[in-house]
Amino acid sequence: MNIHEYQAKELLAKFGVPVPVGYAAMSVEEAVAASAKLPGPLYIVKAQIHAGGRGKGKFVELPPEAKGGVRLARSADDVRAAATDMLGNTLVTIQTGAAGKQVNRLYVTDGVDIAKELYLAMLVDRATGRIAIVASTEGGMDIEDVA
């Protein structure tokens, strides 16, 4: 089952797990409107594709020095710029292969001070046909290397 980050966080919140408030957006205007519903002053704009490594990814249509698919924004104008860069463009990450994936949806969330970060994944081990659980205190960045 492939679900986006915003969908996973909706499920977690439904069962009482505290998650930062955030909103899915499919247009630049929806992203800016989402930021207006958040307290700020820090917002996170995240490309929603079914692949990891979004923050370190690169957009095919943007210059090589452009930021990846997870960006910090400190104003509505920053949210607008990030959304404009991402929506409709192709994000290439370590998990997408060279073809990348087109970004059609964003997740705009409130920036938070992280006291403790945990990473938990459940996936199918194809060699055994069983569920494997990966957990780490190092968070999601480079989890393959950490594991």
pLDDT, tens digit (0-9, with 9 covering 90-100), for 122-135: 888 889 999 988 88
Angstrom distance (rounded) from CA 48 to CA 10: 14
Contact 58, 66 (CB under 8 A): yes
58-86 residue pLDDT tens:
999 999 999 999 999 999 999 999 999 99
Residues sharing a CB contact under 8 Å with residue 29, sequence separation 6 or more, in sequence order = none
pTM, rounded to two decimals: 0.85
Centroid of chain to Cα 91: 12
**pLDDT attached to residue 142:** 61
**pLDDT attached to residue 59:** 98
Higher pLDDT, 113 or 27: 27
Report residue 144 as tokens: 């393959």
Average pLDDT across the chain, whole number:
91
**pLDDT attached to residue 139:** 60
Angstrom distance (rounded) from CA 35 to CA 28: 11
**pLDDT attached to residue 135:** 84
Percent of the chain with pLDDT over 90: 73
Domains of the chain: 5-113 (3.30.1490.20), 115-147 (no CATH)
When pLDDT is cut at 50, 70 and 90, the band that residue 140 belongs to is low
**pLDDT attached to residue 1:** 66
**pLDDT attached to residue 133:** 87
- The residue type of 28 is V
Give me the count of residues in the chain.
Answer: 147
Residues sharing a CB contact under 8 Å with residue 123, sequence separation 6 or more, in sequence order = 131, 132, 134
